[in-house]
Structures are given as structure tokens and as C-alpha cells.
Amino acid sequence: MEDDLIEGGLPGQPSGVMFKQYAGYITVDKSKGRSLFYYFAEAVHNPSSSPLILWLNGGPGCSSLGVGAMALDSPTLMSTSDYNTSGDMRTAQDTYIFLINWFKRYPHYKARDFYIMGESYSGFYIPELSDYIIKRNVQAHSSSKIQLQGIMIGNGIMNDVTDLRGLYDFVWSHALISDETHGGLIEHCKNSSSPQCDHFEERMGTEAGQIDFYNIYSPVCFPSSNSSRKLKRFGGYDPCEENYVYMYLNLPQVQEALHANRTKLPYTWEFCSSNLINSWKDSPTTMFPVYRRLIASGLRILLYSGDVDAVVPVSGTRYSIDALNLKVIEPWHPWSDDKEEVAGYRVAYDGLTFTTIRGAGHEVPRFQPRRALALLKTFLAAK
């Protein structure tokens, strides 16, 4: 544990940091040399009793280290990245082994309430991992059980059919594409790709023009040639200022402080790995069966959507939730983080809660950090 302590803070980090930081690798398969990298920040307030959060980003194959808004004065945060795997199932299995071994290194956290949170493709990662943990907890000795209490997923994919229908309806209803293109998408892209579907998806991109699908109202930044934006539709968000994060995390002194790149890889750290994206093998088409099992288990579930994201838009999440046929127990109503201006809208179902965040794009903490933090605190307080 102390070997992973970041002594004196990170290079360039402001002085007076009031929390301990740790970073390093946890082995998940010694025989094959597979490890997961983590960054871990203790809570500023009540670090001896605060809940533990695992943050997972999307992709697949994108790092969770390049984001940090949720770590500010939050409950304990841990994020994983810098890992080479090839599918959802192995990711769930290896992440479970990572957690078991991480708790061995940090045994005083073993009894803490544990939450898994993330965005985008983690709409698949997180339910799959949670389902796996619940199954393993049934078999595990009481001392080895992970105290999973809930999950929180933002603008997460759920089901291919409803996600795509939500995308097509969102860009049309926000006046980004023509009626004809919308009609063609609905007619030809119902269940699987086809030449006609490809044609209308290309028209969708042409008609929408140079806008940022991750936040349709944000100023456009033209990314550099190595942008992760080009890798996949559900890849990592890449605004201009993230170029500074890219440069920072590739500084030798920063990697040394993070105890990272211990094998001295000959290539640079990237937000998203094209090798992983191109080799991903077992991505499912729907999470509905997994969600039904999680709901039946009693796990607390919060789904939230930034309402100006066109990558995994709010409309797709609403269609997906509607397809689960859950009973409404608290009708649609506004919520606020300051008791005045509306921050978004919320509806509670028998089994999960859905919340929107007004003015937020694909990665909610990036565009609305205060509202994201208020949402997090409310969820942890079980309100």
C-alpha cells in the first residue's frame, strides 16, 4: 500500500492537497502478466468511513484516468485504465479479481459500502460487472464479499435498437437533420446495418455538419490527427483542452509519480486504444436481461443523462427504460442543486431512478460539475 503512495503530490498539482493519493498496478493474471492500473484518491472529509467508488469510463478501451471532476471533494474514488483486454466478459472477470486483490492491499476498505459509477460504454461494463459480483458474493465467504450497494451510469448504452432509435430521433428533433434523412434512418436501420442504412447514416453526418455530437451546443474544437474521437462512435470525449491532459500524462515525471508504465512501453498513453476497440469480441446487443436481474437483486440503480448529448442521447435511454416496463412510483418532476434554477428532471421507477442534467453533454461532470456532484451526493445519501 505505502509503495503506491504518491509522495508530495503530482507534478504541477497545487499545494495544500488535503487527501492522500495512491497509484499503481494490481495483478489479475500472474501467469499471463496481466495487470490493471489504478489511481486512488482518499476522501477529504471522513476518509475512515466514506464509501468507496469505482469509476469506469467507456470506449470500449478508453481510460478512466483522463477524467477527474467526480474526484473533487468526493467520497473515495478509484479508477482503472491502461489495460489490454478483448471483451466484456473478461473485463468483468478481471475487474472482479482486481477488486479482490485491491482489497487485500487495502483491507481497511473491505467493509465499506461500495458503488460502481461511469459513463457511455460503461452502460455495458457496469451492469455486467455488478451481475458478476452479485453471483460471486453468493459463493464467497463472508470475509470476501464485496459490499456492492448501487450503480450510477451516465449517458450509458443499454440496448442497440432503442439506443439507435433514440439517436435518430434526437438529432431530428434538435433540427440537425432533414425529415427525409430521419425517415430513411427509421426505415432502413431498424435491426441491422445495410447499404441503405449506411447511406442514411452518412447523410446524417453530412447534414449535421461540423458540430460536436458530445455536446451539440458547445463550440467545436477541431481535434488533432491522433484524436480518439475517430476511433468509435462510443469512444472517449476529446475537447481541445484534453490535449493538455494527454501531454501531461505522457510526461516522464508524471508517469513516474503515478508509478505507471513500469514496463517502459515504446508508445504513448492515449485516452482510447485503437487496438482494444478493433479487437473487442463479445459486446452484447442488449443489457435488458442483466438489468432485470440487478433490479430483482435489490441493487440501487441510478441512470442519468446530459440532455444535449447526441452520442448516447437522453431519448435513447428513455426508450430503453420504457422497454423494461417498470412501474412508475414517483412521477416526472424537476430537481435543483440550489433550490432555485432547474438542474434537470427525475422520475423513479420500481427498480431504478432516471435523472436528466440540463445543459450537460456526454460526460456530465465535464459540462455541469456542480450538478453532477449534487447528483452524486443525493444518490449516496439515498435520497
Residue 12, C-alpha cell as written in the block: 504541477
Where is 23: in which H helix or E strand?
strand 21-29
Residue 214 φ/ψ, nearest 5 degrees: -75, -20
* 362 catalytic per annotation: yes
Helices (H) and strands (E) in the chain, counts: 12, 10
- Rounded to whole angstroms, the Cα distance separating 182 from 170 reads 10
Neighbours of 332 (CB within 10 A): 11
Greatest alpha-carbon span in the chain = 61
* 120 catalytic per annotation: yes
Residue 218, C-alpha cell as written in the block: 458547445
* Residue-by-residue DSSP string for 127-189: HHHHHHHHHHHHHS-GGG---EEEEEEES---BHHHHHHHHHHHHHHTTSS-HHHHHHHHHH-
- Rounded to whole angstroms, the Cα distance separating 342 from 23 reads 38
Task: Say which of 82, 94, 307, 309 is annotated catalytic.
Answer: 309
* 309 catalytic per annotation: yes
Task: Say which of 79, 120, 227, 315 is annotated catalytic.
Answer: 120
What contacts 248, CB < 8 A, 6 or more positions away? Answer: 12, 254
- Rounded to whole angstroms, the Cα distance separating 211 from 269 reads 27
Is 154:306 a contact under the CB 8 Å cutoff? yes
List active site positions: 120, 309, 362
